Structure formats: C-alpha cells, structure tokens
C-alpha cells in the first residue's frame, strides 16, 4: 500500500469516527448543574421574613442565575409540611425560575396561629411581597410572572389563592387536599377523631387544636370546596397531579372530581395526570419535576 493511499484511509477513518460522535447533550435542569453562571448575578439563596396580617413569617428565596427579571414561583407546603419539595425548587431554579418557600402562620416557627383560612390569606401576603419594589430590585423578581405551586394542603392553598387573584395566570396543585370534601368525611366521628388526634400531634404547628381544625373544615365545607372555584379559574392554566398509591388524598374522589369540575369550564387550560406514586411522590421525584417543568415552560412563559 503506497503512502498516499494509507493517508487517504486514515482520513476516511477519522471522518467516520467523527460522524459517530454524539453531539453534546443539552442542558437538563433536572439532573445537571449550569456550566456557566453570571458572575454579577449568580444563583443564590436569601433568607427572609415578611408580615402577614401582623405575624412574621419565615422563609427563603432561591434566586435564579442571571440579571432577570425572573418568573417567580411561590412553593406551598402541606400540613404540617414534612415534605417540603425543595428538590423541585432547586430544579426549577436551575431552569431559570425564582422560588419562594415559606412557612404559614403558626407553622415551623412562623408567628401567629395556624388555621386553614390563615394559610390561604398567607399566600396573598407572599404575593404582595413578590410584587414589591424590593423584590423586583433586590431579588430579580418579575412581578408580572408569579406562579403558585402547592402540594397537599399547599395545593388547596394554591388553587384558592389563584382563584382570589386575577393576576395569577398559572397554578399547579400536586395531590391537592380538597378540604371541602372533608366536611362530609368528618361526619364520621371516628374519622374526625383520628384527624383531630393527628393535628394535636403535629409538633411544628401552633395555635390550632385538633377539634378546632375539624370544626373549621366542617363549618367552611362549601367555601373550602375546590370544585366550586372553576369559574374563578377561568382564563388560567391549571395543572393537577395525583398519585395512584396516595392514601392521604386518594385520586378517587379527590383528583377525579376536581378534574371533572374543571373540564366543564371551557376557559380553564387544564392539564392533569395520575402517577404511579404515593402522596409524597416518593419514588417519582424526577418524573414529577419534569412534569411540572414542562407545564411551566409550555403554559406559563
């Protein structure tokens, strides 16, 4: 074999090998850290507190990379809030969203007394904070792109908050606890007593007894029924997620009845899914995160 022919074969082989190389993978905020950050506006976390009806609430804000302003998610935990979904918050921050996480009145050291109505009102206070000039200037928040995402009782609060605030166009509820349905469920004294005992044993909750919790739900059954919010969610994008192994808020009746109520409201842009998961999505965290992020990017930007 002469020299020129050998060089030709080597060049052909190199071109062939180059063609087989896979292109670099696209950035995946669910599983990858950013390779480049803005040196003047790096991702960071800010501890903060804010007033809600005279009580000081504690929380923190994950601030996304870059000068922004960034769309900002208010992430709402459940009752009492052992599952905080902060892995979800971190992924959403990597995807370019700020994420505010806070504790309601009477929860986890925040001042005041816990009640379900206070939880809903505290969401309004958090929205006021994120719309403030301070949040825009210091925290790189886009006040026109605020999104509510909640889990369990936080899902209840997210839907209630979105219904009360015409400026909120996107809301996600993960295994939302429709407290309105519990009004009838608590007519069974054994079930009501079991829930009351659970509330009384919830260490990070202050200012609410189990009996008071049961009474609040029964008294406000109609007002707390998420199915009745359909007309108030007209014009909004709504994401409803559930786990088929959820024994705390089982899809039947909670998820399915909510989907049915919202599907008949033509103005709601509804997306819903039932996962192979328990109440905390314990073995479906990546799938949950991808679902929420895909909905955000396709429906809320």
Question: CA–CA separation, 128 vs 143, rounded Å?
Answer: 9
Q: What is the mean pLDDT of residues 188-195?
A: 96
Phi, psi of 70 (to 5 degrees): -105, 140
For residues 240 and 301, what is the distance between their CA atoms, to the nearest angstrom?
A: 18
Residue 3 reports pLDDT greater than 90:
no
Residues 92-111: tens digit of each pLDDT:
999 999 999 999 999 999 99
CATH class for the domain made up of 36-177+226-299 = alpha beta
Question: What are the C-alpha distances in Å from 119 to residues 17, 116, 233?
Answer: 60, 5, 19
Predicted confidence (pLDDT) per residue in 239-266, tens digit? 999 999 999 999 999 999 999 999 999 9
What is the percent of the chain with per-residue pLDDT over 70, rounded to a whole number?
Answer: 92
Q: DSSP label at 57?
A: E
Task: Judge whether residue 30 has pLDDT over 70.
Answer: yes
Least-confidence region, from 22-36, 53-67, 201-215, 220-234: 22-36
CA atoms within 13 A on the CB side of 256: 5
Residue 9 has pLDDT above 60, yes or no: no
Q: CA–CA separation, 174 vs 180, rounded Å? A: 17
Q: Comparing 7-11, 42-46, 183-187, which segment has the lowest mean pLDDT?
A: 7-11
How far separated are the first and last CA of the chain, in Å rounded?
Answer: 62
Strands (DSSP E) along 53-95, which ranges? 55-63, 70-76
Q: Provide the mean pLDDT of the chain.
A: 93
What sign results for the dihedral spanned by CA atoms 269, 275, 277, 282? Answer: negative
Q: Is the per-residue pLDDT at 135 higher than 70?
A: yes
Distance CA 107, CA 157 (A): 14
- The mean pLDDT of 39-63, rounded to a whole number, is 98
Give me the residue label for tokens 């429906």: 299
Token pair for 37: 């950050």
Q: What is the pLDDT of residue 23?
A: 55
Q: Residue 297 above 90 pLDDT?
A: yes
Contact 183, 216 (CB under 8 A): no
pLDDT at 301: 82
pTM for the structure as a whole:
0.91
Residue 65 has pLDDT above 70, yes or no: yes
pLDDT, residue 19, reads 46
What is the predicted pLDDT for the residue at 258?
Answer: 98
Residue 11 pLDDT:
44
In the three-class reduction of DSSP (H, G, I as helix; E, B as strand; rest coil), residue 100 is classed as: strand
What does the block give as tokens for 159? 């839907």
Query: What local confidence, expressed as pLDDT, does residue 24 receive?
Result: 57
Q: What is the CA radius of gyration of the chain?
A: 23
Q: How confident is the model at residue 113 (pLDDT cuts 50, 70, 90)?
A: very high
- pLDDT of 22 > 60? The answer is no
Element at 42 (helix H, strand E):
none
């Amino acid at each position: 074999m002469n020299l020129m022919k050998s060089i030709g074969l080597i060049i052909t082989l190199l071109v062939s090998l180059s063609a087989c190389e896979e292109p670099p993978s696209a950035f995946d905020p669910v599983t990858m850290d950013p390779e480049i950050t803005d040196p003047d506006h790096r991702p960071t976390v800010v501890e903060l507190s804010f007033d809600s009806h005279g009580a000081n609430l504690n929380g923190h804000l994950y601030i996304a990379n870059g000068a922004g302003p960034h769309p900002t998610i208010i992430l709402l935990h459940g009752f009492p809030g052992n599952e905080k979904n902060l892995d979800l918050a971190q992924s959403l921050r990597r995807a370019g969203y700020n994420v505010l996480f806070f504790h309601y009145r009477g929860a986890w050291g925040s001042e005041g007394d816990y009640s379900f109505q206070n939880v809903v009102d505290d969401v309004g206070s958090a929205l006021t904070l994120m719309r403030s000039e301070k949040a825009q200037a210091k925290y790189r928040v886009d006040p026109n792109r605020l999104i509510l995402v909640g889990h369990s009782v936080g899902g209840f609060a997210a839907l209630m908050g979105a219904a009360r605030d015409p400026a909120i166009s996107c809301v996600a509820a993960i295994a939302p606890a429709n407290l309105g349905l519990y009004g009838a469920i608590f007519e069974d004294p054994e079930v009501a007593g079991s829930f009351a005992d659970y509330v009384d044993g919830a260490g990070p909750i202050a200012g609410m007894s189990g009996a008071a919790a049961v009474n609040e739900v029964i008294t406000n059954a109609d007002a707390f029924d998420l199915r009745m919010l359909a007309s108030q969610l007209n014009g909004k994008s709504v994401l409803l997620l559930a786990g088929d192994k959820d024994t705390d808020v089982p899809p039947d009746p909670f998820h399915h009845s909510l989907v049915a109520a919202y599907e008949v409201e033509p103005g709601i842009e509804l997306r819903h899914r039932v996962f192979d998961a328990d109440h905390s999505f314990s073995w479906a965290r990546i799938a949950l995160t991808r679902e929420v992020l895909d909905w955000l990017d396709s429906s809320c930007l």
